[in-house]
A and B are shown apart, each in its own frame.
Chain A
Amino acid sequence: MNRPKVRDIAGVFGRYGNLTFGGGVATIGVLRHEIETKRGWIDSDQFQLCYGLCRLTPGTNLLAFCTAVGWLGRGWFGGLVALLAASVPCSAVVAVATMAFEIWTRNPWAKVALHGALAAAVGLVVFTCWSLIATNIRRSNWIRVTLLFGGAIALQEFAGMSPIQILLLCAGVAAILPLEKRR
């Protein structure tokens, strides 16, 4: 394995963590090519470990992945540099874009355009729900998935529980339920 220099960590995560469209999964695909195949910073097993753990880490998977690779390469300093490089430029772009949106949407035609974009955003949220369920549902667990999905909605809408309470309750139930028998 090649031990990366800190400035290379900043360069790779700054470039590919901020300039890739398509969300975290697409970006991790690009980063894998750069750090495993092209530069040899990590091997395939380390990639699997970082990827698996970034899925278990709360928050944004991509940022956890970048931090993990930076940490493996250069310890805490490398992890921090990777995290800052992958998050600061794109966050600044979002802040500036939000400011620009506020000014831009005073124009009546821009308001109409935003109306269409917001309708698409609703579609994107629904698609996100569909894709998350599609990747987790199997013949052996569809009853559990249906109960968890419907139960979470019912607990929020009818029992007035907060999202955090619901997530903790569902995690607790899953921890004591018998393990799923995969067919």
Chain B
Amino acid sequence: MSFLAIYWILLKATVTTFSGLGSLPVIRQELVLQRHVVTDEQLNTAVVIGRTTPGPIGLYVVSVGYYAAGMKGAAAGWLALVTPALAIPLMLRLIGRRADHPRTKQVMEAIVVSSTGLLFAAAIPLARDSLTDAIAIGIAILTVALMISKKADSLAIIGGAALISILAAAAHLSGYAVR
């Protein structure tokens, strides 16, 4: 894929969402389902990388770009990530204090809620690919519980999940054997 093609796809994903992982449904639709240049596993791995490295969660787009086309894809991912931010000086001039208008807030809220629905729909096939045994299902449930209770950060959770998976495979408890 060309730099411009990846940039355009990833820009469509970042410019139509308002949260870190909100761009995931558009990316999955375009790169996994339509063009087959990224797999569900790579997309999930990109999410892991985005959550285990410092900086905003939306950085996983850089990783997705790399999986689609190597370093030029990563560069396109970075450019798609930063492009929407260039709109804020214009918004500071145009909208300013009108950002608090109830109608503006209602529209923004609708976009966030509906993009959450799309994110949930995108999580289903990711879960189908990753939650293939009882240990993996347990890890996913524990992750949600720990995040809600705020008792651990995402980096520690992902590290702990990797360790549990290794220990379970070593003890032959996991359906995911070492081969």
Contact = CB atoms under 8 A, between A and B. Distances in A.
Contact of B113 (A87, A90, A94, A145): A145
Contacts of A166: 114, 118
Contact of B144 (A22, A61, A126): A126
Of listed B51, B74, B110, residue having the most chain A CB within 10 A: B110
A66 B96 CA distance: 16
B116 A62 contact: no
A108 B48 contact: no
A79 B92 CA distance: 12
Given A112-B174, A116-B136, A174-B106, A91 B78 contact: yes
A163 B157 CA distance: 30
Contacts of B92: 49-50, 53, 68, 71-72
A165 to B, nearest CB: 10
Given A63-B82, A124-B143, A21 B117 contact: no
Interface in B29-68: 29, 41, 44-60, 62-63, 66-67
Contacts, number: 368
Interface string B159-175: 01111111011000010
A136 B50 CA distance: 24
Range, interface on chain A: 35 or more
Contacts of A153: 117-118, 120-121
A177 interface: yes
Contact of A129 (B74, B123, B137): B123
Interface string A162-173: 111011001101
A130 B148 contact: yes
Given A53-B95, A59-B84, A95 B14 contact: no
A33 interface: no
B21 A128 contact: yes
B70 to A, nearest CB: 9
B130 to A, nearest CB: 4
Of B14, B54, B115, B131, most buried by chain A (CB within 10 Å of CB) is: B54
Interface string A128-144: 11111100100001001
B114 A151 contact: yes
Interface in B8-30: 12, 14-21, 24-26, 29
Nearest to B58: A60
A150 interface: yes
A54 B56 CA distance: 13
A136 B109 CA distance: 7
Nearest to A59: B84
B55 A93 contact: yes
B164 to A, nearest CB: 6
A93 B53 contact: yes
A64 interface: yes
A101 to B, nearest CB: 6
Contact of B18 (A61, A105, A112, A177): A61
Interface in B125-177: 126-127, 129-131, 135-137, 139-144, 147-148, 153-155, 157-158, 160-166, 168-169, 174, 176
8 contacts: A18-B54, A67-B88, A120-B143, A120-B160, A125-B21, A126-B144, A136-B113, A157-B121
Interface of A: 17-24, 27, 49-50, 52-68, 71-72, 76, 79, 83-84, 86-88, 90-91, 93-95, 97-99, 101, 105, 108-109, 111-133, 136, 141, 144-145, 148-153, 156-157, 162-164, 166-167, 170-171, 173-175, 177, 179-180
